[in-house]
Chains A and B, each alone.
Chain A
Amino acid sequence: MALAPLALAVVFLPLAASAIAGLFARAIGDRGAQLVTCGAVIVSAAISIPLLREIVLSGGPHVVTIAQWMAVGRLDIAWSLRLDTLSGIMMATVTIVSATIHVYSIGYMAEDPSIPRFMSYLSLFTFFMLSLVTANNLVQLFFGWEGVGLLSYLLIGFWHERDSANAAAIKAFVVNRVGDFGFALGIFAVFLLFGSVNLPTIFAKAPEVAHSTIDFLGWQAPSLTLASILLFIGAMGKSAQIGLHTWLPDAMEGPTPVSALIHAATMVTAGVFMVVRLSPLFEYAPGALGLVAVVGGTTAIFAATIGMAQNDIKRVIAYSTCSQLGYMFFAAGVSAFAAGMFHLFTHAFFKALLFLGSGSVIHALGGEQDMRRMGGLWNKIPITYAMMWIGSLSLAGIPFFSGYYSKDAILAAAWASGTGVGRYAFSLGLFTAFMTAFYSWRLLFMTFHGRPRAGEDVMHHVHESPWVMLIPVFVLAAGATFAGYFMEKYFIGSESAAFWNGSIFVLPGHNTVAAARHVPLYIGLLPTFFALAGIAVAFVGYILQPELPARLAFRFRALYLLVLNKFYFDEAYDRLFVRSAFVMGDGLWKSGDGTVIDGLGPDGISAATRDLARQASRLQSGYVYHYAFVMLIGVVGLVTWYLVR
């Protein structure tokens, strides 16, 4: 079959390029590293499209086995590539976005002293992401999952002389690992249930074990619901859902291309991918699906609320990502997996576009990220300005841009599901659509319109980005504009059954994507209406009456501070977990090991021995009358004993 070599090339080219750029940096130089990595990823992207076509046409999942990984007892895990429409779509999305960002980085990082390291990291990230999406067992999925987490850590902390970057990097990895703790337990539970961690076995046996229970920490839990929820905790960490979201805004410490690739388009969507990939499991765990929908809906509105008050251009987009991921999750939660995947696909384009656009702004302003020191840029960098408009229109779901198709599908499906959680998610999603449009246009107006608030000399140097940065942006803009229109019929429309080919599983009664086609007209129109309202409010507040937001913030000061400070999650976590861990560690060390264990153990015993010896030695005083006295007592004692006996 011709599939195997193509798929292997797509996955391993970035790895090879990363190794070359990373290990032989001195030999090939900056330019060489850029050429090797960009070349490899572009070839990968170019192959991924015919590969996807080939996969869709040939049907059914193909598995390319590479090698045995771990085989112990019943556990049997192989390194392999699972090729079906779902992984094909992900491979194409990842490699295309990755290729544009590789090229963009040539321009963006031109002044950086560690270009080979950066390019090598980007390519290695791409490899791990590809090994994640092509996994045929949960453990390889976990391998890719941890790999992208590692690269996320390395790239957030890329400018390692900054303390804030280092702190953000560690925070990202540790919070992700808290999620992975759930993921790992989920894998163990799956192995306990199915005797296997391989996807085909799990999918085949899921209906059988649907009604069994397992004992978890003394609780008789419905087995599939438990396993699914544990796995979903992992997804929450990676996809920055409420509770485990705190790392994502801080992750903006990394260079902007990183934010675009990892923290918008690909890695953070891995959680959504995981839930969709395991749809045959989640479908039989209605409790878990309900949780997914509630968490997704809540995160969507929660993050959007925070996004409305932030002043750092990248943080606004970061919270927007968090919120959009919420949309994808509640789509999955109402069994509209295909709609969730569709949004993942369009979101990759328009969000990467927005990040690269904001990167161009930051680049133009010499590193400035605070929107309060921007403004009036639109005629200085018109191409970037236009690109940001396209991204925002798509993000807000304005008709006929990509985001419109996918977001509408999600909301319609949530409404059509007819369940309580579905309605909950629908109404939150609707308000989120309003907020999304509001913060997007707030960003546009603050950045590009009004009076220039940057310094004279900064404004003087404002310049449009070079072509090497603009062309990738054009590619993404094309995706953000047209991908929705052209792909709708495959993802969720008339061709969807043939397209997905069974790689997404939905129980017969749950087909909300199909039901969404028959929702009343006003349900279809509402999101657009809310989005337009959001734009209008932003127009009033930031163009017509620019003093209004400050007045409102002053009037509702407590509320404003709450939102501005992100509901004080960071502060609470710092108190609850970080500081208490250090206090506990200190206590366990100094009091536990030092005072108690050593005090009672070796030091105590040696001190006791020394004391005893000292006491004993005191008896040998050297005075004859002492010895005589002791002897006398002895004699008296002996005699008494004999007499009394």
Chain B
Amino acid sequence: MTHLPLLSLVTFLPLAGAFLILVTRGDEKVVAQNARAIALWTALIDFAVSLVIWAEFDPSTAAFQFVEKARWVSIGGFTFTYHMGIDGISLFFITLTTLLTLISVVASWESITYRVKEYMLAFLVLETLMVGMFCALDFILFYLFFEGVLIPMFLIIGVWGGPNRIYAAFKFFLYTLLGAVLMLLAIIAIYFQTGTTDITVALHHSFPFGLQKWLWLAFFASFAVKLPMWPLHTWLPDAHVEAPTAGSVILAGVLLKMGGYGFLRFSLPMFPLASHYFTPLVFVLSAIAIVSTSLVALVQTDMKKLVAYSSVAHMGFVTMGAFALTVQSVTGSVIQMLSHGIVSAALFLIVGVVYDRLHTREIARYGGLVERMPVYALVFMVFTLAAVGLPGTSGFVGEFLVLIGTFKVSTPEATIGATAMFLGIAYMLYLYRRVIYGVITRGDLRAMRDLSFREKAVFAPLILVVLWLGIYPQSFLRPIEPSVAHLVHQVAAANAAAQVHEAKLF
């Protein structure tokens, strides 16, 4: 194992890039070009660093790795430490973030034409915050990253977004802020309970059941908004519709995962009894999310809204799998998040491709694109299939593991979840048919160019990952499984102990 502080490197490298962009001066055109180049190189190197982390990662243990710990600030009696580390659950979120940031930079190359410098800056700062969030092992640090993400995202939607961007940005901001405040209160409560803000300590602290419930709810408020769970999801379609393409990519690809990651990292291990207690609630909300948002997706007339609603349905699997708490379902939940990160990002890029050409997302405006854009049609088909979970794609592995694990715990929940098999395919194929198939009737559609080299370069790695995850998921499952198994056992043991305790009382 190397002694380089790899996690700090992967986290703060983008910030260094952002600083470089900040100090570029000169003619607007030159600055824009330089900003793009700096962002590209920074994102590329950062992605490479995240690959090194994956390569160096020891898949045989559930313990935190690459740990960095240093005293950070001390004010009065409080000492805050800078504490970073990752395990199998967080590992691939870092890779996902660095990959999607790189993709976002390339995808925005031509479509962003004003304030390029600030745009690239925002993305690099965002990358630092996202990666840091997945590495942080100290509550203060985590909270800073977790909520800090809001600011660049708010700007990205509010400055580079569509016509109704102000409403969307504020809706997004208010929703997430509501959860954030409650989480902050919970973190303060945890501090008073444990006497430290160290997450690794809190993970092994047993909170009394009454407190667990309150803390669980406070964290839940924040994560359920981020994920988003039904009925806290209505910010998502609006935010996506108004966000620029790359904004949607990051929003769907990484930001939604922060909720799921939060459940796995905090809610389940720290509050095992409360998690058990609230599992029925989570199951009901997940089931509603899967069925109702699939139906809603069916009637959408805006491509981005359709994909946004499908995201909510897919996230329903994440919460279902996480709270079913079997090794298969929780692993599936992680894979589902990674898969959705790639697939939804790709679907938003796919919408972006035609939006760049025709400046509308109205499904009815399209039709017959396969005639002029066969490569585009193929790429669209691959991700459509991944989205509906066809075996051999990443979507299948996630959904299958979640469902097979959940079936052991609750047959009704798994049965309702499995309805996504035909609901999901209905809205995706209906979308595909309306956009890709049929006869071209309009002149502007006939003049559409197929994917450019740059666009192909954006999709190629995503297709590769989707197939890799689908055909040989072992590369990913192997590092994930020990951490997940550890988590499942920890929660089960806590609940078993509580039952023994209860039995002694009566």
A residues contacting B by CB (< 8 A) are 67-73, 75, 139, 142-143, 146-147, 150, 153, 157, 160-161, 163, 166, 169-170, 173-174, 177-178, 180-181, 184-185, 187-189, 191-192, 215-218, 581-582, 584-586, 588-589, 592-593, 597-598, 601-602, 606
Q: Which residues of B contact A68 (CB under 8 A)?
A: 472, 474
**24 interchain pairs (CB within 8 A)?**
A69-B474, A70-B397, A70-B400, A70-B401, A72-B331, A73-B331, A73-B485, A75-B404, A146-B392, A147-B390, A161-B437, A163-B438, A166-B438, A170-B429, A181-B418, A185-B414, A187-B404, A582-B298, A584-B295, A585-B299, A586-B299, A589-B296, A593-B234, A601-B234
A34 to B422, CA, bound (A): 35
**CB <8 Å contact, A185 and B298:** no
**CB <8 Å contact, A602 and B326:** no
Q: Which residues of B contact A73 (CB under 8 A)?
A: 326-328, 331, 481, 485
Q: Which residues of B contact A75 (CB under 8 A)?
A: 328, 401, 404
Q: A75-B328, A157-B437, A170-B430 are in contact. Are A69 and B473 (CB under 8 A)?
A: yes
Any chain A CB within 8 A of the CB of B269?
Answer: no
Interface string of B163-183 (1 = CB under 8 A from A): 000000001001100000000
Since A72-B401, A73-B326, A585-B298 are in contact, a sample of 5 more A-B pairs with Cβ atoms closer than 8 Å, ordered by chain A residue number, is A69-B474, A178-B422, A189-B407, A217-B415, A601-B234
**CB <8 Å contact, A161 and B439:** yes
**CB <8 Å contact, A592 and B292:** yes
Q: Which residues of B contact A157 (CB under 8 A)?
A: 433, 437
A183, closest chain B residue (CB): B421
Any chain A CB within 8 A of the CB of B31?
Answer: no
**CB <8 Å contact, A602 and B412:** no
Q: A188-B404, A581-B426 are in contact. Are A70 and B421 (CB under 8 A)?
A: no
The tally of CB-CB contacts under 8 A between chains A and B is 143
A69 to B295, CA, bound (A): 32
B232 CB → nearest A CB, Å = 8
**CB <8 Å contact, A192 and B299:** no
Within 8 A of A (CB), among B417-474: 418-419, 421-423, 425-426, 429-430, 433, 436-439, 471-474
**CB <8 Å contact, A598 and B234:** yes
Any chain A CB within 8 A of the CB of B297?
Answer: yes
Any chain A CB within 8 A of the CB of B231?
Answer: yes
Any chain A CB within 8 A of the CB of B315?
Answer: no
A131 CB → nearest B CB, Å = 10
Q: Which residues of A contact B296 (CB under 8 A)?
A: 585, 588-589, 592-593
Please name the 10 residue pairs, one residue from A and one from B, whose CB atoms are nearest each other, closest first: A73-B327, A188-B407, A585-B295, A143-B391, A177-B422, A585-B299, A160-B437, A589-B296, A585-B298, A161-B439
Any chain A CB within 8 A of the CB of B345?
Answer: no
B334 CB → nearest A CB, Å = 10
A585 to B423, CA, bound (A): 11
Any chain A CB within 8 A of the CB of B194?
Answer: no
Interface string of B203-246 (1 = CB under 8 A from A): 00000000000000000000000000001111100000000000
Q: Which interface residue of B171, B232, B368, B391 has the most chain A CB atoms within 10 A?
A: B391
Q: Which residues of B contact A588 (CB under 8 A)?
A: 292, 295-296
Q: Which residues of B contact A189 (CB under 8 A)?
A: 407
Q: Which residues of A contact B429 (CB under 8 A)?
A: 153, 169-170, 173-174
Partner of B437, one of A166, A192, A581, A597: A166
Any chain A CB within 8 A of the CB of B373?
Answer: no
Any chain A CB within 8 A of the CB of B477?
Answer: yes
B residues contacting A by CB (< 8 A) are 171, 174-175, 231-235, 292, 295-300, 326-328, 331-332, 368, 370-371, 385, 390-392, 397, 400-401, 403-404, 407-408, 411-412, 414-415, 418-419, 421-423, 425-426, 429-430, 433, 436-439, 471-474, 477, 481, 485
**CB <8 Å contact, A181 and B368:** no
**CB <8 Å contact, B392 and A188:** no
B187 CB → nearest A CB, Å = 25
Q: Which interface residue of B171, B295, B390, B414 has the most chain A CB atoms within 10 A?
A: B295
Q: Which residues of A contact B436 (CB under 8 A)?
A: 160
B312, closest chain A residue (CB): A593
A82 CB → nearest B CB, Å = 17
Q: A160-B438, A218-B412, A597-B231 are in contact. Are A581 and B331 (CB under 8 A)?
A: no
A192 to B250, CA, bound (A): 38
Q: A146-B391, A192-B407, A585-B295 are in contact. Are A70 and B437 (CB under 8 A)?
A: no
B430, closest chain A residue (CB): A170
B374, closest chain A residue (CB): A117
Partner of A602, one of B235, B292, B332, B385: B235
Q: Which residues of B contact A597 (CB under 8 A)?
A: 231, 234
Q: A189-B407, A585-B295, A593-B296 are in contact. Are A177 and B421 (CB under 8 A)?
A: yes
B32 CB → nearest A CB, Å = 35
A177 to B419, CA, bound (A): 9
B401, closest chain A residue (CB): A72
A189 to B233, CA, bound (A): 32
B451 CB → nearest A CB, Å = 15
A178 to B430, CA, bound (A): 16
Q: Which residues of A contact B331 (CB under 8 A)?
A: 72-73
A143 to B393, CA, bound (A): 10
**CB <8 Å contact, A215 and B297:** no
**CB <8 Å contact, B438 and A161:** yes
B424, closest chain A residue (CB): A177
Q: Which residues of A contact B401 (CB under 8 A)?
A: 70, 72, 75
B389, closest chain A residue (CB): A146
**CB <8 Å contact, B234 and A602:** yes
Partner of B414, one of A173, A188, A215, A606: A188
B440, closest chain A residue (CB): A161
Partner of B171, one of A142, A174, A218, A602: A602
B294, closest chain A residue (CB): A585
**CB <8 Å contact, A72 and B390:** no
A133 to B258, CA, bound (A): 42
Q: A163-B438, A191-B407, A218-B412 are in contact. Are A72 and B327 (CB under 8 A)?
A: yes
A184 to B422, CA, bound (A): 12
Q: A581-B295, A602-B171 are in contact. Are A147 and B392 (CB under 8 A)?
A: yes
B493 CB → nearest A CB, Å = 16
Partner of B425, one of A142, A174, A217, A602: A174
A270 CB → nearest B CB, Å = 14
**CB <8 Å contact, A192 and B392:** no
A278 to B229, CA, bound (A): 40
A600 CB → nearest B CB, Å = 9
Q: A166-B433, A185-B415, A602-B175 are in contact. Are A139 and B299 (CB under 8 A)?
A: no
**CB <8 Å contact, B415 and A170:** no
A580, closest chain B residue (CB): B295
B420, closest chain A residue (CB): A181
Q: Which residues of B contact A187 (CB under 8 A)?
A: 404
A142 to B389, CA, bound (A): 12
**CB <8 Å contact, A177 and B391:** no
Partner of A143, one of B392, B419, B422: B392
B280 CB → nearest A CB, Å = 14
A162 CB → nearest B CB, Å = 9
A436 to B215, CA, bound (A): 69
A68 CB → nearest B CB, Å = 5
Partner of B419, one of A166, A181, A217, A601: A181
**CB <8 Å contact, B392 and A177:** no
A120 to B370, CA, bound (A): 17
A217 to B400, CA, bound (A): 19
A465 CB → nearest B CB, Å = 30
A174 to B433, CA, bound (A): 13
**CB <8 Å contact, A181 and B391:** no
A160 to B368, CA, bound (A): 8
Q: Which residues of B contact A178 (CB under 8 A)?
A: 422
Q: A146-B390, A173-B429, A217-B412 are in contact. Are A71 and B295 (CB under 8 A)?
A: no
A612 to B67, CA, bound (A): 50
A442 CB → nearest B CB, Å = 35
Q: Which residues of A contact B298 (CB under 8 A)?
A: 581-582, 585
Q: Which residues of A contact B397 (CB under 8 A)?
A: 70
